[in-house]
Amino acid sequence: MVGPPTREYLYKILVVGDLGTGKTSIIRRYVHNIFSNNYKSTIGVDFALKVIQWAPEIIIRLQLWDIAGQERFGNMTRVYYKEALGAFVVYDVTRPQTFEGVTKWKQDLDSKVSLPEPWGGGHIPVVLLANKTDMLQEGHGQPINHQELNQFCRDNGFSNWFETSAKDNSNIDEAARHLIESIVAIEDEHGTLMVDDMDDDSIHLDQSKHHDHYSGGSGCC
């Protein structure tokens, strides 16, 4: 007996936040399950692909776009954000000034990208990542106030938040699963996107040529 045909979906996910918050480390851990203290700072944008067997008949290809921390001050983010269906905003729990950038990144996302019209438009789901929690255990930074962060996410339209550590591989898979579930829930409500609903470039990328430039270097991002 032949089972249901396999369906494949491509979801473009943005990973944004101030310089040095660990965006590249999170992507590298999630996609390749490796960690290094020596990643070169991302310049412009980079992306990697993660293929997930979401269900027996469903394959999801996550296209994770690593947006450089300084890009919020440029005019290219509208291009980078185009056709994204979800996003992570990352801050460094040991550097309070990076949390101050969270609201600005969220506002930037809300003003420049929205869900496709067949899905009703509106803001894309965004998850906040409180990153580098391994350093809290080492005595760096202040403990996270969960109640305040819950309220902050409600006030600013985040779908959820997670304490993460690329070094310890803590909560990264869980955060990604939550974001995918948010997108899938929207799709279940409004129906599957057809190719005509989005730009061809966003649906049919040559995956053998995707930019996976996460190699060693100086500095950390």
Q: In which band, very low, low, confident or very high, does the pLDDT at 206 lie, cut at 50, 70 and 90?
A: very low
Domain for residue 172, yes or no?
yes
Q: In which band, very low, low, confident or very high, does the pLDDT at 2 lie, cut at 50, 70 and 90?
A: low
Domain for residue 220, yes or no?
no
Domain for residue 143, yes or no?
yes
State residue 42's pLDDT score: 60
User: For 74-96, what is the mean pLDDT?
Assistant: 92
Domain for residue 98, yes or no?
yes
Domain for residue 59, yes or no?
yes
- 3-state SS assignment for residue 68: coil
State residue 214's pLDDT score: 38
The count of structural domains within the chain is 1
Where in the sequence is the domain holding 28, given as residue range(s)? 7-190
Cβ neighbours of residue 82 closer than 8 Å, sequence gap 6 or more: 113, 199, 202
Domain for residue 207, yes or no?
no
Residues 184-202 pLDDT 10s: 999 989 887 754 444 444 4
State residue 85's pLDDT score: 97
Higher pLDDT among residues 5 and 99, named by residue: 99
Q: What is the CATH number of the domain that holds 94?
A: 3.40.50.300
Residues 20-73 pLDDT 10s: 999 999 999 999 999 877 666 665 678 899 999 999 999 999 999 999 877 666
Residues 155-171 pLDDT 10s: 999 999 999 999 999 99
Q: Is 198 exposed, middle or buried (0-12, 13-18, 19+ CB in 10 A)?
A: middle
Domain for residue 33, yes or no?
yes
Domain for residue 221, yes or no?
no
Residue 90, strand partner residues: 17, 129
Structure token pair of residue 52: 């997930």
